[in-house]
Amino acid sequence: MTFICIFADMIDFTPLVRNRFLGRLQQQVRYIDHADAVQQGELVRLIEKAALTRIGRKYDFSSIRTYQQFASTMPLHTYENLRPHIMRMVNGVKDELWPGRCYNFAQSSGTSDGRSKYIPITRESFTWNHYQGASDVVSHYLNLNPASRIFSGKAFILGGSFANNLQLQRGVRVGDLSANLIENMNPLANLARIPSRQVALMEDWTRKLPLLVESSIGQNVTNLSGVPSWFLTVLRHVLERTGKSSIHEVWPNLEVFFHGGIAFGPYRKQYEALCDMSKMHFLDTYNASEGFFAVQSDWSSEAMLLLLDTGVFFEFLPVEESDSETPEVYPIWEIEAGRTYELIITAPNGLWRYRLGDTVTVEQLNPVKITIAGRTRSFINAFGEELMVHNADRAIALTEQETDTEVLNYTAAPVYAEGNRQGHHQWLIEFATRPTDEVRFMQLLDEHLREVNSDYDAKRTGDIFLTAPTLVVAPTGLFDRWLASTGKLGGQRKISRLNNNRIVIDQMLAMMD
């Protein structure tokens, strides 16, 4: 096995497999003129496959042939609607939301009642969607970088772990999406990736981090895959361990970082500082626990191409109607460019007309490209300002440029009016490079928030409804300590950036005290 791995590092297989990957892109050309036919074909495939399941019999899937029939028969679902079905699947019941028995579940962030979500990952989820989506990412990258030698070395894939403390049915596995993907990966693919499965799936990140560093040093790493915030920590430890100033001094053939999970914008400058940018590329992906949905397909735009034939049927709910009891929902052939929607999915994991909780902005049609706008519940609207995560990310990026600072992590929440105190937003920010003038930093952040969000600007006018935001500088490592306290350190780690309540920020402030 060791000989095979060393031999693989000596040969560049990229020319041998390039045509196979690029051939896949020819199939996607039909998106341009036939998105409606492609998506309706996916819907029929899903309905026919699940016709004899419990939910299929309930909604008489065998009689449904069109989107109109499907939309008029099947209601929209939240996780709480589907939880009883999913928990039966976790407990071994087969043919519930999808044919057969499901053995893999991605543990996702909790719902409003604090309970974890378990997202089914069926056999078809792996083959139709997650692995096909990952393959499509490579296809687009090879198309964008004809000089690539990505298969001359190994992929450094940063994953999470399984929840080994749960009492589960025999054979059932619950954990991070990445842990499920690594465990079920084709054994041949494991020859071209690091770290070992044993290290990759370790649960204790305090022990895992040094092993990740040691197992990667000396390897011929050509590409990285993971969540930007956590991978940045790993790369910095690699540089510290080796005494190098650039990650390309450690891995000279590194050429691309496939990133996803959280917005890359706040981390771009920090990655650029660690890399030789004459060699390095960054490619954005939209790979959630619920499915692999989109990939960046053009260096000139951060908009991502929606993957329409990988087992997922998409619907779009205008974000302004998210709280409506009877919202209008549109299929892909009826959406408008420039509009922001809540994403609804139907997928081969048994999530039927599922309200994902993500909002996306349709940047263009033919083919459909999107950017992630944020979460439907990750915003601040305490004073009518309707501040969304994509507004905050953009404002921070602009402020960083003007103040020569680097923001590592942030969260913000309202401070409500009380007595003579007016309402405002409080920002808790951990800096990689701290501003020399914190007052100016917050003034610029406020100005840019007003530029990118007219509702925020209106509420800030004259300090009548909302006064200037305030800053608390977080000590180094605070966000990691908070994540560790919630059991979410590493893997698909996510910080709740904007909150309409003070639960998260008060917990973190208490840890500072």
For residue range 230-269, list pLDDT tens digits in order.
788 899 999 999 999 999 999 999 999 999 877 787 678 8
Task: Reply yes or no on whether the pLDDT at 114 is more than 70.
Answer: no
Alpha carbons 483 and 497: distance in angstroms, whole number:
13
Task: List strands edge to edge, sheet with 173-175.
Answer: 117-121, 104-108, 173-175
Smallest CA-to-CA distance from 389 within 343, 453, 434, 439 is with 453
Task: Reply yes or no on whether the pLDDT at 435 is more than 70.
Answer: yes
For residue range 178-223, list pLDDT tens digits in order.
999 999 998 888 889 999 999 999 988 788 999 999 999 999 999 9
Q: Within 10 A of 225 (CB to CB), how many other CB atoms are there?
A: 23
What confidence score (pLDDT) does residue 490 get?
A: 58
Q: What are phi and psi of 241, to 5 degrees?
A: -65, -35
What confidence score (pLDDT) does residue 375 get?
A: 75
Smallest CA-to-CA distance from 230 within 194, 257, 191, 254 is with 257
Task: Reply yes or no on whether the pLDDT at 4 is more than 60.
Answer: no
User: pTM (2 decimals)?
Assistant: 0.79
Could you list the beta-strand ranges (E) of 297-442: 304-306, 313-318, 330-331, 340-346, 354-364, 369-375, 379-380, 387-388, 406-415, 424-433
Say if residues 309 and 91 touch (Cβ distance below 8 Å). Answer: no
| Ramachandran category for residue 92: left, alpha or beta (phi over 0 → left; psi -120 to 50 → alpha) | left
Task: Reply yes or no on whether the pLDDT at 227 is more than 90.
Answer: no
Give the position of tokens 């999913």: 86
Strand 369-375 and strand 304-306: pairing? antiparallel
Write the CA distances from 21 to 136, 279, 308, 480, integer angstroms.
8, 22, 17, 38
What confidence score (pLDDT) does residue 68 get?
A: 97
Tokens representing 158?
Answer: 């940063």
Fold of 379-512: GMP Synthetase; Chain A, domain 3 (3.30.300)
The DSSP bridge partners found for residue 172 are none
Top pLDDT among 129 and 480 is at: 129
What confidence score (pLDDT) does residue 345 get?
A: 98
What confidence score (pLDDT) does residue 116 get?
A: 75
For residue range 376-429, list pLDDT tens digits in order.
767 787 776 878 888 899 999 999 999 999 999 999 999 976 666 778 999 999
For residue range 78-113, list pLDDT tens digits in order.
999 999 999 999 999 999 999 999 999 998 754 444
Write the CA distances from 474 to 109, 409, 428, 435, 504, integer angstroms.
23, 9, 6, 13, 14
For residue range 155-185, list pLDDT tens digits in order.
999 988 888 777 788 899 998 899 999 999 9
Q: Where exactly are the structural domains of the chain?
A: 379-512
Top pLDDT among 117 and 383 is at: 117
Alpha carbons 17 and 150: distance in angstroms, whole number:
11
Instruction: Give the ranges where 29-130 is alpha helix by DSSP (H).
Output: 31-49, 54-58, 67-73, 79-90, 123-124
For residue range 26-37, list pLDDT tens digits in order.
888 778 889 999
The alpha carbon dihedral of 94, 117, 128, 104 has a sign of negative
Q: What are phi and psi of 45, to 5 degrees?
A: -60, -45
Report, as an integer, the average pLDDT of 302-328.
94
Write the CA distances from 138 to 23, 149, 178, 292, 436, integer angstroms.
12, 12, 17, 13, 41
3-state helix/strand/coil string of 410-452: EEEEEECCECCECCEEEEEEEEEECCCCHHHHHHHHHHHHHHH
Cβ-based burial of 501 (10 A; exposed 0-12, middle 13-18, buried ≥19): exposed
Rg, Å, the chain Cα set: 23
| Ramachandran category for residue 128: left, alpha or beta (phi over 0 → left; psi -120 to 50 → alpha) | alpha
Top pLDDT among 166 and 493 is at: 166
Alpha carbons 225 and 284: distance in angstroms, whole number:
10
Tell me what percent of the residues of the chain surpass a pLDDT of 70. 94
For residue range 440-490, list pLDDT tens digits in order.
999 999 999 999 887 788 789 888 778 999 999 999 999 988 988 876 665
Smallest CA-to-CA distance from 119 within 109, 108, 110, 111 is with 108
For residue 374, what pLDDT band results from cuts at 50, 70 and 90?
Answer: confident
Give the position of tokens 């297989």: 13
Write the CA distances from 461 to 357, 422, 447, 454, 464, integer angstroms.
31, 13, 11, 10, 7
Alpha carbons 172 and 168: distance in angstroms, whole number:
6
Q: What are phi and psi of 469, to 5 degrees?
A: -70, 155
Report, as an integer, the average pLDDT of 360-377.
89
Instruction: Give the ranges where 64-152 is alpha helix by DSSP (H).
Output: 67-73, 79-90, 123-124, 131-144
